[in-house]
A and B are shown apart, each in its own frame.
Chain A
Protein backbone atom coordinates (compact mmCIF):
# COMPACT_ATOMS: atom_id res chain seq x y z
CA UNK A 1 0.00 0.00 0.00
CA UNK A 2 2.86 2.34 0.87
CA UNK A 3 4.53 1.69 -2.46
CA UNK A 4 1.28 2.12 -4.36
CA UNK A 5 0.56 5.41 -2.65
CA UNK A 6 4.14 6.55 -3.20
CA UNK A 7 3.58 5.87 -6.88
CA UNK A 8 0.39 7.95 -6.64
CA UNK A 9 2.26 10.77 -4.97
CA UNK A 10 4.98 10.73 -7.61
CA UNK A 11 2.31 10.74 -10.28
CA UNK A 12 0.65 13.77 -8.67
CA UNK A 13 3.98 15.63 -8.52
CA UNK A 14 4.77 14.67 -12.10
CA UNK A 15 1.43 15.95 -13.40
CA UNK A 16 1.34 19.20 -11.44
CA UNK A 17 2.53 22.32 -13.22
CA UNK A 18 4.12 23.74 -10.10
CA UNK A 19 6.63 20.86 -10.04
CA UNK A 20 8.05 22.12 -13.30
CA UNK A 21 8.25 25.73 -12.12
CA UNK A 22 11.12 24.68 -9.86
CA UNK A 23 12.94 22.70 -12.51
CA UNK A 24 12.31 25.41 -15.12
CA UNK A 25 13.47 28.20 -12.82
CA UNK A 26 16.56 26.23 -11.87
CA UNK A 27 17.40 25.58 -15.51
CA UNK A 28 16.87 29.23 -16.40
CA UNK A 29 18.98 30.47 -13.48
CA UNK A 30 21.83 28.12 -14.35
CA UNK A 31 21.79 29.14 -17.99
CA UNK A 32 21.78 32.82 -16.99
CA UNK A 33 24.87 32.21 -14.85
CA UNK A 34 26.50 30.21 -17.63
CA UNK A 35 25.77 32.96 -20.12
CA UNK A 36 27.04 35.63 -17.75
CA UNK A 37 30.22 33.68 -17.17
CA UNK A 38 30.71 33.15 -20.87
CA UNK A 39 30.27 36.87 -21.44
CA UNK A 40 32.22 38.27 -18.54
CA UNK A 41 33.70 35.42 -16.53
CA UNK A 42 37.23 36.77 -16.72
CA UNK A 43 36.40 39.84 -14.67
CA UNK A 44 34.83 37.54 -12.07
CA UNK A 45 38.03 35.52 -11.95
CA UNK A 46 40.02 38.76 -11.79
CA UNK A 47 38.00 39.69 -8.77
CA UNK A 48 38.94 36.42 -7.09
CA UNK A 49 42.66 36.70 -7.81
CA UNK A 50 42.88 40.49 -7.44
CA UNK A 51 44.48 40.38 -3.99
CA UNK A 52 47.53 38.59 -5.36
CA UNK A 53 47.84 39.96 -8.85
CA UNK A 54 50.54 42.49 -8.03
CA UNK A 55 53.03 39.83 -7.07
CA UNK A 56 51.77 36.64 -8.63
CA UNK A 57 50.51 35.53 -11.97
CA UNK A 58 47.99 32.75 -12.30
CA UNK A 59 48.73 30.51 -15.24
CA UNK A 60 46.36 27.96 -16.65
CA UNK A 61 42.67 27.88 -17.23
CA UNK A 62 41.12 29.37 -14.12
CA UNK A 63 37.70 29.97 -15.66
CA UNK A 64 36.74 26.38 -16.32
CA UNK A 65 33.69 24.16 -15.94
CA UNK A 66 34.64 23.13 -12.42
CA UNK A 67 34.84 26.72 -11.22
CA UNK A 68 31.56 27.59 -12.93
CA UNK A 69 29.89 24.55 -11.35
CA UNK A 70 31.17 25.61 -7.97
CA UNK A 71 29.96 29.18 -8.48
CA UNK A 72 26.53 27.97 -9.62
CA UNK A 73 26.18 25.67 -6.65
CA UNK A 74 27.22 28.46 -4.31
CA UNK A 75 24.73 30.88 -5.84
CA UNK A 76 21.78 28.56 -6.17
CA UNK A 77 21.94 26.63 -2.95
CA UNK A 78 20.26 29.69 -1.42
CA UNK A 79 17.41 29.69 -3.92
CA UNK A 80 16.76 26.02 -4.57
CA UNK A 81 15.11 25.58 -1.12
CA UNK A 82 12.35 27.97 -2.23
CA UNK A 83 11.77 25.95 -5.38
CA UNK A 84 11.65 22.73 -3.38
CA UNK A 85 9.34 24.19 -0.72
CA UNK A 86 7.04 25.25 -3.54
CA UNK A 87 6.29 21.59 -4.20
CA UNK A 88 6.79 19.89 -0.85
CA UNK A 89 4.93 22.59 1.08
CA UNK A 90 1.88 21.73 -0.97
CA UNK A 91 1.93 17.98 -0.46
CA UNK A 92 -0.39 17.78 2.56
CA UNK A 93 -1.88 21.26 2.60
CA UNK A 94 -2.76 21.01 -1.09
CA UNK A 95 -4.87 17.91 -0.36
CA UNK A 96 -6.55 19.85 2.42
CA UNK A 97 -7.19 22.87 0.20
CA UNK A 98 -8.65 20.81 -2.62
CA UNK A 99 -10.65 18.58 -0.30
CA UNK A 100 -9.01 15.42 -1.63
CA UNK A 101 -7.61 14.76 1.83
CA UNK A 102 -11.08 13.42 2.72
CA UNK A 103 -10.93 10.95 -0.14
CA UNK A 104 -7.38 9.98 0.76
CA UNK A 105 -7.90 9.59 4.49
CA UNK A 106 -10.96 7.37 4.07
CA UNK A 107 -8.95 4.82 2.13
CA UNK A 108 -7.43 1.80 3.87
CA UNK A 109 -4.00 3.37 4.12
CA UNK A 110 -2.82 4.59 7.50
CA UNK A 111 -2.22 8.28 8.08
CA UNK A 112 1.41 7.44 8.76
CA UNK A 113 1.47 5.68 5.41
CA UNK A 114 0.08 8.78 3.72
CA UNK A 115 2.74 11.03 5.27
CA UNK A 116 5.50 8.54 4.60
CA UNK A 117 4.62 8.12 0.95
CA UNK A 118 4.45 11.89 0.52
CA UNK A 119 7.80 12.22 2.21
CA UNK A 120 9.33 9.61 -0.09
CA UNK A 121 7.88 11.48 -3.08
CA UNK A 122 9.31 14.74 -1.68
CA UNK A 123 12.65 12.98 -1.34
CA UNK A 124 12.55 11.82 -4.94
CA UNK A 125 11.65 15.34 -6.10
CA UNK A 126 14.51 16.81 -4.06
CA UNK A 127 16.83 14.19 -5.48
CA UNK A 128 15.78 15.09 -9.02
CA UNK A 129 16.31 18.80 -8.33
CA UNK A 130 19.75 18.13 -6.83
CA UNK A 131 20.67 15.85 -9.69
CA UNK A 132 19.47 18.47 -12.19
CA UNK A 133 21.47 21.15 -10.40
CA UNK A 134 24.53 18.90 -10.47
CA UNK A 135 24.03 17.85 -14.07
CA UNK A 136 23.53 21.36 -15.43
CA UNK A 137 26.20 23.00 -13.37
CA UNK A 138 28.80 20.31 -13.83
CA UNK A 139 28.25 18.68 -17.19
CA UNK A 140 26.88 21.63 -19.13
CA UNK A 141 29.46 23.98 -17.60
CA UNK A 142 32.25 21.55 -18.43
CA UNK A 143 30.90 21.19 -21.93
CA UNK A 144 30.83 24.96 -22.32
CA UNK A 145 34.00 25.93 -20.46
CA UNK A 146 36.16 22.82 -20.45
CA UNK A 147 37.72 21.34 -17.38
CA UNK A 148 40.61 22.29 -15.11
CA UNK A 149 41.77 22.88 -11.57
CA UNK A 150 39.36 24.53 -9.18
CA UNK A 151 40.23 27.74 -7.44
CA UNK A 152 38.20 28.19 -4.30
CA UNK A 153 38.03 31.45 -2.43
CA UNK A 154 37.64 31.06 1.28
CA UNK A 155 37.70 33.76 3.92
CA UNK A 156 41.28 32.84 4.77
CA UNK A 157 42.63 32.65 1.28
CA UNK A 158 42.69 30.78 -1.95
CA UNK A 159 42.71 27.05 -2.32
CA UNK A 160 43.55 25.44 -5.60
CA UNK A 161 42.35 21.89 -5.99
CA UNK A 162 43.77 19.71 -8.71
CA UNK A 163 41.38 18.52 -11.37
CA UNK A 164 41.93 14.84 -10.57
CA UNK A 165 40.94 15.59 -7.00
CA UNK A 166 37.57 17.13 -7.88
CA UNK A 167 35.27 14.33 -9.09
CA UNK A 168 34.68 12.76 -5.71
CA UNK A 169 34.40 16.18 -4.09
CA UNK A 170 31.60 17.22 -6.45
CA UNK A 171 29.74 13.93 -5.96
CA UNK A 172 30.12 14.10 -2.21
CA UNK A 173 29.17 17.78 -2.09
CA UNK A 174 26.00 17.06 -4.09
CA UNK A 175 25.12 14.32 -1.61
CA UNK A 176 25.58 16.72 1.31
CA UNK A 177 23.71 19.48 -0.57
CA UNK A 178 20.92 16.98 -1.16
CA UNK A 179 20.81 16.27 2.56
CA UNK A 180 20.42 20.00 3.24
CA UNK A 181 17.66 20.34 0.63
CA UNK A 182 16.01 17.20 1.97
CA UNK A 183 15.84 18.89 5.37
CA UNK A 184 14.12 21.88 3.75
CA UNK A 185 11.71 19.56 1.92
CA UNK A 186 10.85 17.79 5.18
CA UNK A 187 10.43 21.13 6.96
CA UNK A 188 8.00 22.31 4.27
CA UNK A 189 6.14 18.99 4.53
CA UNK A 190 5.93 19.40 8.30
CA UNK A 191 4.50 22.90 7.91
CA UNK A 192 2.05 21.62 5.34
CA UNK A 193 0.63 19.20 7.94
CA UNK A 194 -0.41 22.23 9.97
CA UNK A 195 -1.89 24.28 7.15
CA UNK A 196 -4.99 24.30 5.01
CA UNK A 197 -3.35 25.82 1.95
CA UNK A 198 0.10 25.74 0.44
CA UNK A 199 0.99 29.43 0.76
CA UNK A 200 1.48 29.18 4.52
CA UNK A 201 3.96 26.29 4.47
CA UNK A 202 6.03 27.80 1.64
CA UNK A 203 6.21 31.22 3.29
CA UNK A 204 6.88 29.67 6.69
CA UNK A 205 9.69 27.49 5.35
CA UNK A 206 11.40 30.41 3.68
CA UNK A 207 10.88 32.57 6.77
CA UNK A 208 12.55 29.96 8.96
CA UNK A 209 15.48 29.69 6.55
CA UNK A 210 15.87 33.48 6.38
CA UNK A 211 15.51 33.90 10.15
CA UNK A 212 17.97 31.13 10.98
CA UNK A 213 20.42 32.39 8.38
CA UNK A 214 20.30 35.87 9.86
CA UNK A 215 20.79 34.48 13.36
CA UNK A 216 23.68 32.44 11.98
CA UNK A 217 25.42 35.48 10.57
CA UNK A 218 24.87 37.71 13.61
CA UNK A 219 28.00 37.95 15.70
CA UNK A 220 26.08 37.98 18.95
CA UNK A 221 27.21 35.62 21.66
CA UNK A 222 23.62 34.96 22.80
CA UNK A 223 23.07 32.82 19.72
CA UNK A 224 26.41 31.03 19.88
CA UNK A 225 24.98 28.07 21.76
CA UNK A 226 22.17 27.43 19.29
CA UNK A 227 24.05 28.20 16.07
CA UNK A 228 25.75 24.79 15.79
CA UNK A 229 22.36 23.08 16.02
CA UNK A 230 20.50 25.16 13.47
CA UNK A 231 20.06 23.32 10.20
CA UNK A 232 20.79 26.48 8.22
CA UNK A 233 24.31 26.52 9.69
CA UNK A 234 24.86 23.17 8.01
CA UNK A 235 23.14 23.95 4.74
CA UNK A 236 26.45 25.14 3.33
CA UNK A 237 28.28 22.06 4.63
CA UNK A 238 28.69 20.87 1.05
CA UNK A 239 31.20 23.68 0.60
CA UNK A 240 33.49 22.27 3.29
CA UNK A 241 34.12 19.34 0.99
CA UNK A 242 36.18 21.74 -1.10
CA UNK A 243 38.53 22.41 1.78
CA UNK A 244 42.00 21.05 2.31
CA UNK A 245 42.65 19.29 4.61
CA UNK A 246 39.30 17.62 4.26
CA UNK A 247 37.29 18.54 7.40
CA UNK A 248 35.82 15.09 7.92
CA UNK A 249 34.75 15.63 11.51
CA UNK A 250 32.87 18.83 10.70
CA UNK A 251 31.18 17.26 7.70
CA UNK A 252 30.08 14.22 9.73
CA UNK A 253 28.75 16.63 12.34
CA UNK A 254 26.75 18.48 9.68
CA UNK A 255 25.42 15.24 8.22
CA UNK A 256 24.35 14.05 11.67
CA UNK A 257 22.63 17.34 12.53
CA UNK A 258 20.79 17.48 9.19
CA UNK A 259 19.74 13.83 9.57
CA UNK A 260 18.48 14.48 13.09
CA UNK A 261 16.45 17.40 11.72
CA UNK A 262 14.94 15.24 9.00
CA UNK A 263 13.96 12.49 11.44
CA UNK A 264 12.55 14.99 13.95
CA UNK A 265 10.58 16.92 11.36
CA UNK A 266 9.19 13.72 9.82
CA UNK A 267 8.13 12.51 13.27
CA UNK A 268 6.39 15.81 13.96
CA UNK A 269 4.59 15.54 10.61
CA UNK A 270 3.44 11.97 11.29
CA UNK A 271 2.24 12.76 14.82
CA UNK A 272 0.47 15.92 13.69
CA UNK A 273 -1.24 14.30 10.72
CA UNK A 274 -2.32 11.30 12.79
CA UNK A 275 -3.88 13.52 15.44
CA UNK A 276 -5.48 15.84 12.95
CA UNK A 277 -9.28 15.93 12.72
CA UNK A 278 -10.10 16.33 9.06
CA UNK A 279 -12.98 18.78 9.05
CA UNK A 280 -12.51 20.43 5.70
Chain B
Protein backbone atom coordinates (compact mmCIF):
# COMPACT_ATOMS: atom_id res chain seq x y z
CA UNK B 1 0.00 0.00 0.00
CA UNK B 2 1.44 3.37 -1.00
CA UNK B 3 1.81 5.87 1.84
CA UNK B 4 0.74 8.72 -0.41
CA UNK B 5 -1.58 8.29 -3.34
CA UNK B 6 -2.55 11.22 -5.52
CA UNK B 7 -5.08 10.66 -8.24
CA UNK B 8 -6.10 13.16 -10.90
CA UNK B 9 -5.53 16.12 -8.66
CA UNK B 10 -6.90 19.42 -9.93
CA UNK B 11 -6.82 22.93 -8.60
CA UNK B 12 -8.31 26.06 -10.07
CA UNK B 13 -7.69 29.60 -8.82
CA UNK B 14 -10.54 31.45 -10.45
CA UNK B 15 -10.11 31.02 -14.17
CA UNK B 16 -6.52 29.83 -13.85
CA UNK B 17 -6.00 26.09 -13.55
CA UNK B 18 -2.74 25.61 -11.67
CA UNK B 19 -3.05 21.81 -11.47
CA UNK B 20 -4.83 20.00 -14.27
CA UNK B 21 -4.18 16.33 -13.72
CA UNK B 22 -1.49 15.17 -11.37
CA UNK B 23 -1.23 11.58 -10.20
CA UNK B 24 1.56 9.72 -8.44
CA UNK B 25 2.17 7.49 -5.48
CA UNK B 26 4.87 7.33 -2.85
CA UNK B 27 5.82 4.01 -1.29
CA UNK B 28 7.06 3.42 2.23
CA UNK B 29 10.78 4.11 2.51
CA UNK B 30 10.92 6.12 -0.72
CA UNK B 31 12.85 9.29 -1.10
CA UNK B 32 10.51 10.53 -3.73
CA UNK B 33 11.48 13.33 -6.06
CA UNK B 34 8.72 15.69 -7.08
CA UNK B 35 10.14 17.44 -10.05
CA UNK B 36 8.99 20.17 -12.33
CA UNK B 37 10.06 23.56 -13.66
CA UNK B 38 8.97 26.73 -11.93
CA UNK B 39 5.24 27.22 -12.38
CA UNK B 40 4.59 23.54 -13.11
CA UNK B 41 2.19 23.25 -10.15
CA UNK B 42 4.54 21.63 -7.63
CA UNK B 43 3.86 24.01 -4.77
CA UNK B 44 0.11 23.94 -5.36
CA UNK B 45 0.16 20.12 -5.35
CA UNK B 46 2.21 19.99 -2.18
CA UNK B 47 -0.06 22.53 -0.49
CA UNK B 48 -3.03 20.38 -1.48
CA UNK B 49 -1.26 17.40 0.10
CA UNK B 50 -0.96 19.34 3.34
CA UNK B 51 -4.49 20.76 3.25
CA UNK B 52 -3.23 24.32 2.88
CA UNK B 53 -5.13 24.52 -0.39
CA UNK B 54 -8.47 22.91 -1.05
CA UNK B 55 -8.29 20.83 -4.29
CA UNK B 56 -10.86 21.41 -7.01
CA UNK B 57 -10.89 17.74 -7.95
CA UNK B 58 -9.16 14.40 -7.59
CA UNK B 59 -8.35 12.30 -4.55
CA UNK B 60 -5.58 12.47 -1.96
CA UNK B 61 -4.96 9.44 0.22
CA UNK B 62 -2.42 8.99 2.98
CA UNK B 63 -1.87 5.58 4.57
CA UNK B 64 -4.83 4.38 2.53
CA UNK B 65 -7.15 6.97 4.05
CA UNK B 66 -8.69 10.05 2.55
CA UNK B 67 -6.91 13.21 3.64
CA UNK B 68 -10.15 15.13 3.58
CA UNK B 69 -11.84 12.84 6.07
CA UNK B 70 -8.82 12.11 8.27
CA UNK B 71 -7.00 15.41 8.22
CA UNK B 72 -5.89 15.54 11.83
CA UNK B 73 -4.77 11.92 11.93
CA UNK B 74 -2.86 12.26 8.67
CA UNK B 75 -1.17 15.52 9.62
CA UNK B 76 -0.06 14.11 12.96
CA UNK B 77 1.95 11.55 10.95
CA UNK B 78 3.39 14.07 8.47
CA UNK B 79 6.17 16.59 8.91
CA UNK B 80 6.79 19.29 6.38
CA UNK B 81 8.60 22.40 5.24
CA UNK B 82 6.81 24.46 2.65
CA UNK B 83 9.20 26.59 0.58
CA UNK B 84 11.00 28.00 3.59
CA UNK B 85 10.44 27.42 7.24
CA UNK B 86 9.06 30.50 8.95
CA UNK B 87 9.14 30.90 12.68
CA UNK B 88 8.08 33.38 15.31
CA UNK B 89 11.11 35.61 15.07
CA UNK B 90 10.56 37.16 18.48
CA UNK B 91 10.83 33.74 20.14
CA UNK B 92 13.83 31.50 20.70
CA UNK B 93 14.47 28.34 18.68
CA UNK B 94 13.44 26.25 21.65
CA UNK B 95 10.22 28.24 22.27
CA UNK B 96 9.32 27.87 18.60
CA UNK B 97 9.77 24.12 18.76
CA UNK B 98 7.75 23.99 21.99
CA UNK B 99 4.91 25.84 20.27
CA UNK B 100 4.83 23.44 17.32
CA UNK B 101 5.34 20.42 19.58
CA UNK B 102 2.23 21.34 21.56
CA UNK B 103 0.04 21.13 18.46
CA UNK B 104 1.81 18.20 16.79
CA UNK B 105 -0.73 15.73 18.09
CA UNK B 106 1.86 13.85 20.13
CA UNK B 107 3.31 14.25 23.58
CA UNK B 108 6.82 15.57 23.18
CA UNK B 109 9.12 15.85 26.16
CA UNK B 110 11.52 18.81 26.51
CA UNK B 111 14.35 16.29 26.24
CA UNK B 112 13.16 15.32 22.75
CA UNK B 113 13.21 18.96 21.70
CA UNK B 114 16.78 19.26 22.86
CA UNK B 115 17.72 16.05 21.07
CA UNK B 116 16.21 17.32 17.87
CA UNK B 117 18.10 20.60 18.17
CA UNK B 118 21.26 18.53 18.60
CA UNK B 119 20.37 16.41 15.58
CA UNK B 120 20.17 19.45 13.31
CA UNK B 121 23.28 20.99 14.84
CA UNK B 122 21.65 23.88 16.68
CA UNK B 123 22.76 22.91 20.16
CA UNK B 124 24.02 25.96 21.99
CA UNK B 125 21.74 28.23 19.95
CA UNK B 126 18.44 27.01 21.39
CA UNK B 127 17.91 30.09 23.56
CA UNK B 128 18.73 32.52 20.75
CA UNK B 129 15.91 34.37 19.07
CA UNK B 130 15.15 33.14 15.55
CA UNK B 131 15.39 36.72 14.29
CA UNK B 132 19.17 36.36 14.52
CA UNK B 133 19.31 33.09 12.57
CA UNK B 134 20.75 32.74 9.06
CA UNK B 135 18.63 31.19 6.34
CA UNK B 136 20.55 27.93 6.70
CA UNK B 137 19.98 27.82 10.45
CA UNK B 138 16.28 28.45 9.94
CA UNK B 139 16.23 25.62 7.41
CA UNK B 140 17.83 23.30 9.96
CA UNK B 141 15.39 24.45 12.63
CA UNK B 142 12.65 23.79 10.08
CA UNK B 143 13.85 20.25 9.69
CA UNK B 144 13.92 19.90 13.48
CA UNK B 145 10.27 20.98 13.74
CA UNK B 146 9.44 18.64 10.84
CA UNK B 147 10.89 15.63 12.65
CA UNK B 148 9.93 16.60 16.19
CA UNK B 149 6.85 14.41 16.36
CA UNK B 150 8.57 11.51 14.63
CA UNK B 151 6.40 11.56 11.49
CA UNK B 152 6.13 8.67 9.06
CA UNK B 153 6.27 10.96 6.06
CA UNK B 154 8.42 14.04 5.58
CA UNK B 155 7.42 16.48 2.86
CA UNK B 156 10.01 19.05 1.86
CA UNK B 157 9.09 21.69 -0.69
CA UNK B 158 12.18 23.13 -2.37
CA UNK B 159 14.20 22.83 0.83
CA UNK B 160 17.43 24.16 -0.69
CA UNK B 161 15.97 27.29 -2.27
CA UNK B 162 17.93 30.37 -1.32
CA UNK B 163 20.69 28.46 0.44
CA UNK B 164 24.38 28.94 -0.25
CA UNK B 165 26.38 25.91 -1.50
CA UNK B 166 27.37 25.01 2.06
CA UNK B 167 23.75 25.20 3.17
CA UNK B 168 22.63 23.06 0.23
CA UNK B 169 25.14 20.37 1.17
CA UNK B 170 24.03 20.48 4.83
CA UNK B 171 20.36 20.09 3.98
CA UNK B 172 21.13 17.38 1.45
CA UNK B 173 23.10 15.46 4.06
CA UNK B 174 20.27 15.85 6.54
CA UNK B 175 17.82 14.34 4.06
CA UNK B 176 20.18 11.44 3.44
CA UNK B 177 20.40 10.89 7.19
CA UNK B 178 16.60 10.87 7.36
CA UNK B 179 16.57 8.16 4.74
CA UNK B 180 19.44 6.11 6.12
CA UNK B 181 19.22 6.60 9.89
CA UNK B 182 15.56 7.30 10.53
CA UNK B 183 14.09 5.31 7.62
CA UNK B 184 11.64 8.06 6.83
CA UNK B 185 9.59 8.28 3.68
CA UNK B 186 10.51 11.58 2.11
CA UNK B 187 8.71 13.52 -0.58
CA UNK B 188 11.07 16.13 -1.94
CA UNK B 189 10.07 18.73 -4.46
CA UNK B 190 12.66 20.47 -6.58
CA UNK B 191 13.22 22.06 -9.93
CA UNK B 192 16.77 20.70 -10.05
CA UNK B 193 17.10 17.26 -11.53
CA UNK B 194 20.67 16.90 -10.29
CA UNK B 195 19.47 17.24 -6.70
CA UNK B 196 16.79 14.60 -7.15
CA UNK B 197 19.24 12.36 -8.99
CA UNK B 198 21.57 12.34 -5.99
CA UNK B 199 19.09 11.51 -3.23
CA UNK B 200 15.82 10.18 -4.65
CA UNK B 201 15.02 6.60 -5.60
CA UNK B 202 11.70 7.36 -7.28
CA UNK B 203 10.34 10.47 -8.89
CA UNK B 204 7.53 12.09 -10.76
CA UNK B 205 7.90 14.93 -13.21
CA UNK B 206 5.09 17.35 -13.74
CA UNK B 207 4.77 20.18 -16.21
CA UNK B 208 1.99 22.68 -16.81
CA UNK B 209 -0.11 21.06 -14.11
CA UNK B 210 0.11 17.52 -15.51
CA UNK B 211 2.10 14.41 -14.68
CA UNK B 212 4.69 13.77 -17.40
CA UNK B 213 6.40 10.68 -16.11
CA UNK B 214 6.71 8.69 -12.87
CA UNK B 215 9.13 5.89 -12.00
CA UNK B 216 12.50 4.81 -10.62
CA UNK B 217 15.04 7.61 -10.93
CA UNK B 218 17.86 5.53 -12.39
CA UNK B 219 15.58 3.84 -14.91
CA UNK B 220 14.17 7.10 -16.12
CA UNK B 221 17.51 8.84 -16.35
CA UNK B 222 19.31 5.95 -18.01
CA UNK B 223 17.09 6.30 -21.00
CA UNK B 224 17.90 9.93 -21.32
CA UNK B 225 20.76 11.71 -23.03
CA UNK B 226 23.55 12.96 -20.89
CA UNK B 227 25.25 16.12 -21.95
CA UNK B 228 28.78 17.11 -21.11
CA UNK B 229 30.49 20.37 -20.41
CA UNK B 230 34.21 20.11 -21.19
CA UNK B 231 37.06 22.50 -20.55
CA UNK B 232 40.19 22.09 -22.69
CA UNK B 233 43.54 23.80 -23.19
CA UNK B 234 43.56 23.42 -26.97
CA UNK B 235 40.12 24.10 -28.41
CA UNK B 236 41.02 23.57 -32.08
CA UNK B 237 42.20 20.04 -31.43
CA UNK B 238 38.92 19.25 -29.64
CA UNK B 239 36.85 20.70 -32.47
CA UNK B 240 38.89 18.67 -34.94
CA UNK B 241 38.37 15.47 -33.05
CA UNK B 242 34.63 16.03 -32.61
CA UNK B 243 34.15 16.69 -36.33
CA UNK B 244 36.13 13.65 -37.23
CA UNK B 245 34.78 11.11 -34.77
CA UNK B 246 31.37 12.43 -33.65
CA UNK B 247 29.93 14.49 -36.50
CA UNK B 248 26.37 13.55 -35.44
CA UNK B 249 26.71 15.35 -32.08
CA UNK B 250 26.10 19.07 -31.54
CA UNK B 251 29.17 20.77 -30.10
CA UNK B 252 28.76 24.37 -28.96
CA UNK B 253 31.39 26.78 -27.70
CA UNK B 254 29.96 28.18 -24.46
CA UNK B 255 32.77 30.54 -23.63
CA UNK B 256 36.55 30.56 -23.96
CA UNK B 257 37.78 26.91 -24.09
CA UNK B 258 34.50 25.54 -22.66
CA UNK B 259 32.25 23.42 -24.82
CA UNK B 260 28.79 21.96 -24.42
CA UNK B 261 28.33 18.60 -26.10
CA UNK B 262 24.84 17.19 -26.57
CA UNK B 263 24.85 13.42 -26.38
CA UNK B 264 22.45 11.10 -28.10
CA UNK B 265 23.54 7.97 -26.29
CA UNK B 266 25.84 7.37 -23.40
CA UNK B 267 29.28 7.22 -25.02
CA UNK B 268 30.87 9.24 -22.25
CA UNK B 269 33.69 6.90 -21.29
CA UNK B 270 34.77 6.28 -24.88
CA UNK B 271 34.56 9.99 -25.75
CA UNK B 272 36.62 11.08 -22.77
CA UNK B 273 39.27 8.49 -23.71
CA UNK B 274 39.41 9.94 -27.27
CA UNK B 275 39.64 13.50 -25.94
CA UNK B 276 42.66 12.57 -23.86
CA UNK B 277 44.27 10.86 -26.88
CA UNK B 278 43.59 13.85 -29.18
CA UNK B 279 45.94 16.04 -27.16
CA UNK B 280 43.35 18.78 -26.65
CA UNK B 281 44.51 19.17 -23.04
CA UNK B 282 41.36 18.05 -21.26
CA UNK B 283 41.07 19.89 -17.95
CA UNK B 284 37.56 18.99 -16.74
CA UNK B 285 34.41 17.12 -17.78
CA UNK B 286 31.11 18.01 -16.06
CA UNK B 287 28.05 15.87 -16.77
CA UNK B 288 25.04 18.10 -17.48
CA UNK B 289 21.50 16.92 -17.52
CA UNK B 290 19.10 19.78 -18.14
CA UNK B 291 15.62 19.37 -16.78
CA UNK B 292 14.29 21.41 -19.66
CA UNK B 293 16.03 19.10 -22.14
CA UNK B 294 14.67 16.15 -20.26
CA UNK B 295 11.17 17.59 -20.44
CA UNK B 296 11.50 18.22 -24.14
CA UNK B 297 12.62 14.67 -24.65
CA UNK B 298 9.82 13.37 -22.45
CA UNK B 299 7.17 15.41 -24.17
CA UNK B 300 8.50 14.49 -27.60
CA UNK B 301 7.81 10.87 -26.72
Touch A–B, Cβ below 8 Å: yes
Give the B-binding residues of A (Cβ under 8 A): 1, 4-5, 7-8, 11-12, 15-17, 98-100, 102-110, 275, 277-279
Give complex CA distance A12, B73 in Å. 26
Tell me the B residues contacting A by CB distance below 8 Å. 13, 47, 50-54, 71-76, 78, 80, 82-91, 95, 99-100, 102-105, 145
Complex contact B47–A279 (CB within 8 A): yes
Docked-complex contact A107 and B13, CB < 8 angstroms: no
Q: A100-B86, A103-B85 are in contact. List 15 more A-B contacts (CB 8 A).
A: A4-B103, A11-B95, A12-B88, A15-B88, A15-B95, A98-B88, A99-B84, A102-B82, A103-B100, A106-B51, A108-B71, A108-B104, A109-B72, A277-B54, A279-B52
- Chain A, interface SS category: helix
Residue of B nearest to A274 (CB): B54
Q: Is the CB of B72 within 8 A of A108?
A: yes
List residues of chain A with CB within 8 A of the CB of B78.
106
Q: How far is the CA of A16 from the CA of B99 in the complex (A)?
A: 14
Q: Which residues from A are CB-within-8-Å of B104?
A: 107-108
Contact status of A106 and B72, CB under 8 A, knowing A12-B88, A100-B87: no
Inter-chain contact B52/A100, CB cutoff 8 Å: no
Partner of B99, one of A11, A17, A105, A277: A11
Contact A1/B105 with A100-B86, A103-B145, A277-B13 known, Cβ cut-off 8 Å: yes
List 27 A–B pairs whose Cβ atoms lie within 8 Å, in order of A's numbering: A1-B103, A4-B102, A5-B103, A8-B103, A11-B99, A15-B90, A17-B90, A98-B88, A99-B86, A102-B52, A103-B86, A103-B87, A106-B78, A106-B80, A107-B75, A108-B71, A108-B72, A108-B73, A108-B74, A108-B104, A110-B72, A275-B54, A277-B47, A277-B53, A278-B47, A278-B53, A279-B53
Question: Do B52 and A278 touch (CB < 8 A)?
Answer: yes
* Closest CB in chain A relative to B12 CB, distance in Å: 10
User: Which residues of the other chain, A, contact B80 by a CB distance below 8 angstroms?
Assistant: 106
Q: How far is the CA of A98 from the CA of B76 in the complex (A)?
A: 23
Chain B: minimal CB distance from A87 (Å)? 14
CA of A20 to CA of B55, assembled, Å: 41
Distance of B123 from chain A, by nearest CB (Å): 22
What is the CA–CA distance of A277 and B102 in the complex, to the nearest angstrom?
24
Contact of A106 among B52, B54, B99 (CB under 8 A): B52
Please report the C-alpha to C-alpha distance between residue A12 and residue B87 in the assembled complex, in whole angstroms: 12
Interface-central residue, A99, A100, A102, A107, by most chain B CB under 10 Å:
A107
State the CA gap A34–B47 with chains docked (Å): 54
Separation in Å of the B57 CB from the closest CB of chain A? 15
- Distance A99 CA – B219 CA, assembled complex (angstroms): 38
CB distance from A4 to the nearest CB of B (A): 4
**Contact between chains at B103 and A106 (CB < 8 Å):** no
What 3 A-B pairs come out closest when comparing CB atoms?
A: A99-B86, A108-B105, A108-B72
A278-B47, A279-B47, A279-B53 as given contacts; A107 in contact with B90, CB under 8 Å: no
| Residues of chain B contacted by A100 (CB below 8 angstroms) | 86-88
Closest chain-B Cβ to A263's Cβ sits at a distance in Å of 25
**Closest Cβ of chain A: how far from B26's Cβ, in Å?**
17
- Contact of A7 (CB < 8 Å), options: B51, B54, B83, B102: B102
A133-B89 Cα distance, complex, nearest whole Å: 30
Q: Do A16 and B90 touch across chains, with their CB atoms under 8 A apart?
A: yes
CB within 8 Å for A5 and B71 given contacts A106-B80, A106-B82: no
Are A107 and B88 in touch, CB under 8 angstroms? Answer: no
* A207 → chain B closest CB, angstroms: 28
| Residues of B contacting A12 in the complex (Cβ-Cβ under 8 angstroms) | 88, 91, 99
Give chain B residues whose Cβ lies under 8 Å from the Cβ of A16. Answer: 90
Complex alpha-carbon distance, A194 and B75, angstroms: 25
Q: Which residues of B contact A108 (CB under 8 A)?
A: 71-76, 103-105
Residues of A within 8 A of B145 (CB): 103
Is the pair B99, A8 in contact by a Cβ cutoff of 8 Å?
A: yes
CB distance from A11 to the nearest CB of B (A): 7
Instruction: Please give me the residue from chain B that is nearest to A99 by CB atom.
Output: B86
CA distance A115 to B83 in the complex (A): 24
Minimum Cβ distance to chain B for residue A273 (Å): 12
Which residue of chain B has its CB nearest to the CB of A98? B86
CA distance A1 to B104 in the complex (A): 9
A15 to B90, CA, bound (A): 7
A98 to B84, CA, bound (A): 11
